[in-house]
Amino acid sequence: MGEEIIKKLIDIPNSEVEEISQAVVIAKNEEAKARDFYQKSADNTQDPEVKKAFEFLAKEEIEHFNALIAVETTLAGRGKFAVITEEGLKHLEKPDVYPSKPLKGKDLESNSELSALLFAMRAERKAELFYRTQAKKTSVKEVKEFWETLADFEAGHFQYLDGIFETWTDTQDFIMG
């Protein structure tokens, strides 16, 4: 992945190059950490459905990392911003995942997979906030759209994980489920 996801190259104001470059470095680091976390969680889980979910998310984080590499490379090498569209990133099919059974009482308290799921949900929210903040900082429409697209992916990851969490923790103990 790289050149094939770049729609076009655009000029950006010199005053924004350094800030965008710094944000890309931070984003690459976070995407790499997320990829490693999801892969490790996939390797450690006993639930085959949760394993599929974590493997999917690890692959998406790799795609985001590669998109950031493309942006970084063209920014450093050509002084231009690589416009990467949402369509350029959306080609993985999200697996339908329903963990094998709801967890009960003490299982909820001691489950490492549940801990990983909750950690991942929080990390996705933080990543979304980072990308939305970067979008607000730029005056260039295409740069703003790039950061917003990544933020939307992270929000989608949160919703996906939340769906797993809801299915997994639905114990029907309360009136409202």
* Stated pTM of the model: 0.77
Q: 99 vs 50, 78, 165, 169, CA distance in Å?
A: 6, 47, 9, 10
Whether residue 174 lies inside any domain: the answer is: no
Nearest to 8 by CA among 59, 81, 64: 81
pLDDT digits (tens, 9 = 90+) for 13-49: 888 888 999 999 999 999 999 999 999 999 988 878 7
Between 127 and 95, the more confident residue is 127
Whether residue 175 lies inside any domain: the answer is: no
| CATH number of the domain enclosing 92 | 1.20.1260.10
Q: Which residues contact 37 (CB under 8 A, 6 or more apart)?
A: 116, 119, 120, 123
Q: What is the pLDDT of residue 108?
A: 42
Number of folded domains in the chain?
A: 1
Whether residue 87 lies inside any domain: the answer is: yes
pLDDT digits (tens, 9 = 90+) for 73-116: 988 887 888 888 777 677 666 666 655 555 444 444 445 777 88
Structural domain including 152 reads 3-169
Does the pLDDT value for residue 138 go beyond 90?
A: yes
Whether residue 176 lies inside any domain: the answer is: no
